[in-house]
């Protein structure tokens, strides 16, 4: 009788053979000692380097891994395709140029099997300039959050970001709520819906994921289309979370305006951003204890046209 999979790991890659060897080695090490209860879905999207060859070599020596080649050139479509291939109770995402801490997924798979949370969220370990600090895995530090606490933590954006990498979501949730077919910010668009659909939420400030911040990533090479997708994702926050979180969401609109307002060529996008900022109620925003002082200063700067 086949063992039911607790965790499905979706690794997506596009022309990342420079980093992929380290990524796959870290994935293997993160599962060290675990011989069942998981599966690895390896997806190459339109790669023309050695990515497919490297994925096939990995799968050849790992019987729980399967390789798929697609030509979507769209991360939202790739993620949805990956979800469709999964059989695990939970799904986590790995990008082909990031890494995982040794033994981390082994422990997390066991935790998910024993505790069965609706959603397990973990803080990402951000790596800049390829300089990995002395980060070692010392186990999850699970904290139970109410849905309200989780939404606030997400919107404040310090410990929790709009990424599905390093997060553990029930497969049924991602089947019911697919990613939008965006070339980037697909995770930022969907994350609010996933939060709003769950109650038994666990957060760990110590996470398994090494997130390499690279200058050539999809979201770092901004163009007008990507700004449009960012506006769409931020608008979705308002739609899903509603007025209760209006002030915290306003911080995201202010950030968009300060970063891209002057260069924004799409008149409809610019109008949407400007109107949303004009809708902020000054006293409510300025006296809201959840809003950081730095954002109150930014709001006054924008409001006064400076």
pLDDT at 1 over 70: no
Determine the Cα–Cα distance for residues 52 and 132; give it in Å rounded to an integer: 26
**35-49 pLDDT, tens digit each:** 999 999 999 999 999
- Average pLDDT estimate for 237-258: 98
pLDDT at 3: 78
pLDDT at 215: 73
**190-208 pLDDT, tens digit each:** 999 999 999 999 999 999 9
Task: Name every residue whose Cβ is closer than 8 Å to that of residue 202 and which is 6 or more positions away in sequence.
Answer: 115, 117, 119, 120, 121, 142, 143, 144, 145
Confidence of residue 216 (pLDDT cuts 50, 70, 90): low
pLDDT at 130: 82
Determine the Cα–Cα distance for residues 184 and 188; give it in Å rounded to an integer: 9
- Average pLDDT estimate for 11-37: 97
Superfamily of domain 7-213: Spore Coat Polysaccharide Biosynthesis Protein SpsA; Chain A (3.90.550.10)
Collapsed DSSP state (helix, strand, coil) of residue 301: helix
**Can you say whether the dihedral through the CA atoms of 273, 279, 282, 287 is positive or negative?**
negative
pLDDT at 10: 99
Residues of the chain with CATH 3.90.550.10: 7-213
**262-280 pLDDT, tens digit each:** 889 889 999 999 999 999 9
Residues in the chain: 306
**115-136 pLDDT, tens digit each:** 999 999 999 999 998 888 789 9
């Amino acid at each position: 009788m086949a063992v039911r999979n607790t965790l499905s790991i979706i690794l997506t890659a596009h022309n990342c053979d420079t980093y992929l060897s380290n990524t796959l080695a870290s994935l293997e090490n993160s599962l060290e000692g675990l011989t069942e209860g998981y599966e690895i879905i390896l997806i190459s999207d339109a790669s023309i380097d050695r990515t497919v060859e490297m994925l096939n070599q990995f799968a050849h020596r790992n019987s729980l891994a399967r390789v798929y080649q697609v030509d979507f050139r769209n991360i939202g479509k790739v993620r949805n395709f990956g979800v469709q291939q999964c059989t695990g109770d939970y799904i986590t995402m790995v990008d082909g140029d990031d890494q995982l801490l040794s033994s981390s997924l082994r422990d997390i798979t066991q935790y998910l099997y024993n505790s069965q949370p609706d959603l397990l969220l973990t803080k990402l370990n951000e790596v800049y300039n390829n300089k990995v600090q002395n980060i070692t895995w010392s186990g999850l530090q699970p904290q139970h959050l109410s849905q309200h606490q989780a939404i606030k933590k997400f919107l404040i954006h310090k410990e929790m970001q709009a990424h599905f990498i390093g997060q553990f979501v029930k497969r049924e949730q991602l089947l019911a709520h697919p990613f939008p077919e965006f070339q980037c910010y697909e995770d930022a668009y969907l994350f609010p819906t996933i939060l709003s659909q769950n109650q038994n939420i666990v957060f760990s400030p110590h996470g398994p994921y090494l997130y390499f911040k690279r200058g050539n990533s999809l979201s770092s090479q901004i163009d007008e289309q990507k700004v449009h997708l960012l506006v769409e994702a931020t608008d979705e926050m308002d739609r899903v979370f509603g007025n209760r979180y209006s002030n915290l969401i306003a911080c995201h609109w202010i950030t968009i305006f300060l970063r891209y307002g002057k260069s924004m060529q799409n008149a409809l996008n610019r109008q949407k951003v400007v109107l949303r900022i004009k809708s902020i109620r000054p006293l409510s925003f300025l006296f809201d204890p959840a809003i950081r002082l730095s954002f109150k200063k930014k709001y006054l700067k924008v409001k006064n046209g400076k």
